[in-house]
Structure 1
């Protein structure tokens, strides 16, 4: 892996940052999709419709075709949801990164550079955390061929140092429940799972399970 260093965002990074975020989200789509198929509602649709067609027609081919059709439809629907989320993000905080992350004290945005191969933002947490003053990790993404080489760890450690320097009580973040490598990374850095929630998709895919993590500096002293 080529050498890299972590630095604050600059205006010339705008396009590479948005591109890296988009590719990172879409690249994780398959690993987030398959666990959804185990959800009761989705499982019922996948089995119930083909089975009903088989009972009604007696055709195994029709049954299998309907199953493959349902899988394809669910995949396309889920991918559309992710594309919509990416689109919304690109037109929200990632539209004006300077304003969203660098215009005030207590926020920042970093890139890992040899080219822009990793990104991460931080802003004061929107959701209250037990009366404490917490910063939220956002938009962490690493280029695919740089994953598993310690870059994400370096980025998160950069945020932890920043948060302590800024006087925060800790750091919070949200990740997909199916993203086990990310969860192992966070837990190795002192984060613990504080709660779970869900990101609603639609009636037949149900929801994407989310895990919320928290790192408290007081517990590390």
Structure 2
């Protein structure tokens, strides 16, 4: 039996929801960094840098120092990519959660609660494409992962979408969030596209995957709301 429950967001959840989201996103910084370092472009660039500096300076010490500085610079760029995304979210929809998700038609925000504490979040808003709902802000506290919390939150959004006549649910997640990709694919989502969220993302060979789950029409469900205006693409959920 699940030791948690899914309920609608309440105003007293505000600070913990924002903190949970921020911590969850920043957890991915090491994975993004390692993903960048594993790319052949990064490895080739590092080798070329070492060779050029060694030839110019005539020794290994300056060459290895240049490599260390390059690795530090890459780490700072990855950290900047994640921090910028978090600050943007905290300053937009997560600044006024009630206005963004509870007052807006066809939207919702839910939390998973265990032992009286919020341990997970998920949100949904009408997607830019017609008759589709977008799953957003999925995050689960680290110590609660592997217990079915994320699966239950995803199913909450899918059920919400079916009940309101949406024909599909879409979402975005990053290349390094392998566990999230498997979770969504297990719920019927299929990858339909990939893109880099920014110039910095392209420099770091960081991609965001877009997923879509087609929904059968529920008997008696109302027509789905129209899609919302398209927004600039962002990084992962």
Give the TM-score taking structure 1 as reference length.
0.91
Match of 2:140 in 1: 142
Distance across 2 between alignment mates of 1:102 and 1:36: 38
Q: Which runs of 5+ in 1 are unaligned?
A: none
Match of 1:123 in 2: 125
Q: Is the 8 A contact 2:106 2:126 kept in 1?
A: yes
1:56-92 alpha-carbon deviations (Å, 9 max, x no partner): 1231122222111111111012102211111111000
**Runs ≥4 in structure 1, deviation > 3 angstroms?**
38-45, 203-207
Quote the offset at 1:121 in angstroms. Answer: 0.6
Match of 2:86 in 1: 86
1:154-190 alpha-carbon deviations (Å, 9 max, x no partner): 1001111111011100100000012111111111110
SS at match of 1:218: coil
Quote the offset at 1:36 in angstroms. Answer: 1.9
1:1-46 alpha-carbon deviations (Å, 9 max, x no partner): 9921100001001100000000000111111221122445534432
SS at match of 2:147: coil
1:189-218 alpha-carbon deviations (Å, 9 max, x no partner): 100011111112439834421110000013
Q: Which runs of 5+ in 2 are unaligned?
A: 219-237
1:115-170 alpha-carbon deviations (Å, 9 max, x no partner): 011001100002x2xxx400000010000111122111110011111110111001
Structure-to-structure mapping, 1:17-166, within 5 angstroms: 17-39=17-39, 41-114=41-114, 115-126=117-128, 128=129, 132-166=130-164
Query: Cα 1:69–1:195, aligned 2, differ >3 Å: closer, same or farther?
Result: same
Q: How many residue pairs end up in the alignment?
A: 216
